[in-house]
Chain A
Amino acid sequence: MTESLHAEWTKLRTLASTFWLLLAAAAVTVAVSAAAAAAVRCPSGGCADDPAKISLTGIDLGQAVVAVLAVMAVSGEYGTGMIRLTLTATPRRLTVLAAKAAVLTCLVLAAGTVAVLGSLLAGGLILPGHGIGPSHGYPAISAGDGPVLRAGFGSVLYLALIAMLSLGAATAMREAAVAIGAVLGLLYVLPIIAVFAGNATLSRHLEQIAPMTAGLAIQATTGLNGLPISPWAGLGVLAAWAAGALVLGGLLLRSRDA
Chain B
Amino acid sequence: MTAIVSSRTQAGPGRAGFARLLHAEWTKFRTVRGWVIAVIVAVLVTVLLGLFIGSHSHVAPCTTGPNGPACRYVIPTGPGGESVTDTFYFVHRRLTGDGSITAEVTSLTEVTESSQTLNGRPVRTKPAVVPWSKAGLIITAGAGQGSAYAAVMVTGRHGTRMQWNYTGDTPGLAGRVSAASPRWLRLTRAGDVITGYDSAGGTRWTKIGTVTLPGLAQTIQAGLFATSPGGTQRTSQGVTSASGTAAATDATATFDRVGLHGGWPGSSWTGTSLHGGPDSPYVTGHEAGYRREGGGFTVTGSGDIAPDVTDGVPIDTLLAGLFIALVAVLVAGAQFMTAEYRRGLIRATLAASPRRGQALAAKAVVLGAVTFAAGLAAAAGAVLIGIPLLRASGNPVYPATALTEVRLIAGTAALAAVFAVFALAVGAIVRHGAGAVAVAITAVILPYLLTAAIPVLPAGAADWVLRVTPAAGFAIRQVIPAYRQVAASYTPSTDFFPLAPWTGLAVTCAWAALALALAAHFLRRRDA
Given contacts A36-B461, A198-B240, contact A188 B53 (CB under 8 A): no
Q: 0/1 per residue, B231-271, Cβ < 8 Å to A?
A: 00000111110000000000000000000000000000000
A18 to chain B minimum Cβ distance, whole angstroms, is: 13
CB within 8 Å of B: which A67-108 residues:
67-68, 71-72, 75, 79
Residues in B whose Cβ lies below 8 Å from that of A199: 56-58, 239-240
B431 to chain A minimum Cβ distance, whole angstroms, is: 12
Whether B320 contacts A196 by the Cβ 8 Å rule is yes
A15 to chain B minimum Cβ distance, whole angstroms, is: 13
Contacts between chains A and B (CB distance < 8 A), count: 137
The complex places the Cα of A182 from the Cα of B446 at a distance, in Å, of: 14
The complex places the Cα of A64 from the Cα of B327 at a distance, in Å, of: 14
A206 to chain B minimum Cβ distance, whole angstroms, is: 11
Whether B441 contacts A185 by the Cβ 8 Å rule is yes
Whether A68 contacts B438 by the Cβ 8 Å rule is yes
- Binding site secondary structure of chain B: helix
Q: 0/1 per residue, A9-33, Cβ < 8 Å to B?
A: 0000000000000000000000000
A41 interface residue, CB < 8 Å from B?
A: yes
A182, A185, A193, A195, most chain B CB atoms within 10 A: A195
CB within 8 Å of B: which A181-229 residues:
181-182, 184-185, 188-189, 191-200, 202-203, 213
Given contacts A79-B342, A177-B434, A198-B57, contact A192 B448 (CB under 8 A): yes
B57, B437, B441, most chain A CB atoms within 10 A: B437
Whether A191 contacts B449 by the Cβ 8 Å rule is yes
Whether B60 contacts A60 by the Cβ 8 Å rule is no
B515 interface residue, CB < 8 Å from A?
A: no
A258 interface residue, CB < 8 Å from B?
A: no
Name the residue on A nearest B334 (C-beta).
A177
CB within 8 Å of A: which B431-453 residues:
432-438, 441-442, 445-446, 448-450, 452-453
Whether B331 contacts A177 by the Cβ 8 Å rule is yes
A155 interface residue, CB < 8 Å from B?
A: no
Name the residue on A nearest B393 (C-beta).
A198
The complex places the Cα of A255 from the Cα of B324 at a distance, in Å, of: 30
Residues in A whose Cβ lies below 8 Å from that of B456: 36, 53-54, 57, 60
Q: 0/1 per residue, A94-135, Cβ < 8 Å to B?
A: 000000000000000000000000000000000000000000
Whether B446 contacts A67 by the Cβ 8 Å rule is no
Q: 0/1 per residue, A47-60, Cβ < 8 Å to B?
A: 00000011001001
The complex places the Cα of A83 from the Cα of B239 at a distance, in Å, of: 48
A40 interface residue, CB < 8 Å from B?
A: yes
Whether A41 contacts B458 by the Cβ 8 Å rule is yes
B452 to chain A minimum Cβ distance, whole angstroms, is: 8
Listed from nearest, the 9 A-B pairs whose CB atoms lie closest are A177-B433, A196-B320, A39-B461, A198-B57, A181-B331, A185-B327, A176-B434, A199-B58, A192-B453
Q: List 22 A-B contacts (CB under 8 A).
A: A53-B456, A60-B446, A64-B446, A71-B434, A75-B434, A177-B331, A178-B34, A180-B434, A182-B327, A184-B437, A188-B446, A191-B454, A192-B320, A192-B448, A195-B236, A195-B237, A195-B452, A195-B454, A196-B238, A196-B320, A200-B60, A202-B56
